[in-house]
Amino acid sequence: MLSQSLQKRSSIKKVRDQILFQPASSIPQFRFDIEKLDLILNFLRPGQVVAIAGHHSQNLIERLSVRAQLPKKHGGLDSNVIIIDGGNSSDPYLSINFARQYGLQVDDTLSRIIASRAFTVYQLWSIVTHELQNVISRYDARLVVISDLLYMFVDDPFLDQNEAKLILQDMIHSISKIQNCIIIVSISKPTQYDDMIAKLFDRIIKVTKQRHRILVQVDDMKPIQLKEAELELIPQR
């Protein structure tokens, strides 16, 4: 089960090749701009691979994809954004909504989101393992999103499970080598590959809906409760 695999991951710590010392002012203070969530998550930093699992994951992805384009002094990354859509889950209307709330030009915002849609597991593998690093360099992107990474692994009835594991392991290896970017991976539902993928993540955000409330859990911390509007609205300042 997804929840069990992600719970296991909370006790695993990874070591990445990073610059050990740098001025604090040079570290991007990148957050979701959702106060209750940011208080426990603190901020996302380059070199991290972050999972967003479950209900409303796409809403959070589109929010970050717009927020990353803001100037650093306003909490953004001043960056282009790369989205690899593995489950036909991208929603440009959400991006447009967030862009308008932040007072950004819609056309400019959408033009800074470089999107690629994979239609098969093999296309997804090729994009992640052979193309992604070059695209990151070309567009100087500091946020990469892979949405619904495991969707096609369970949706394709003809995909051999042993072959699928080899493909997924190769993709995990490629993602883990990417530096100087924040990598966001969304997972929409539990799969038989959760144990494999869980070891990739530095932080795990699980979002569930219970009647009229949204529960958000970061790693193994106590879940917080949000209103649905808090995921959709940008705080007015």
106: part of which helix (H) or strand (E)? helix 106-111
Q: CA 145 to CA 79: how far, in whole Å?
A: 13
Tokens of 133: 């690093």
Angstrom distances, CA of residue 137 to CA of 15, 16, 49: 23, 20, 18
- Specify the residue for token string 């953004």: 76
- In angstroms, the first-to-last Cα distance of the chain is 40
Sheet holding 224-226, edge to edge: 113-117, 81-85, 143-147, 182-187, 49-54, 203-210, 213-218, 224-226
Q: What is the pLDDT of residues 148-171, one digit of tens each?
A: 999 999 999 999 999 999 999 999
- Whether the predicted pLDDT of 211 surpasses 90: no
User: What is the average pLDDT across 90-109?
Assistant: 96
Please state the length of the chain: 237
- Whether the predicted pLDDT of 9 surpasses 70: no
CA-wise closest residue to 207 among 61, 62, 65, 57: 57
The alpha carbons of the chain give a radius of gyration, in whole angstroms, of 17
How much of the chain exceeds pLDDT 70, in percent?
88
pLDDT of 227: 92
Q: What is the pLDDT of residues 18-41, one digit of tens each?
A: 444 445 455 567 999 999 999 999
Widest distance between CA atoms in the chain: 52
Note the pTM of the prediction, 2 decimals.
0.88
pLDDT of 28: 62
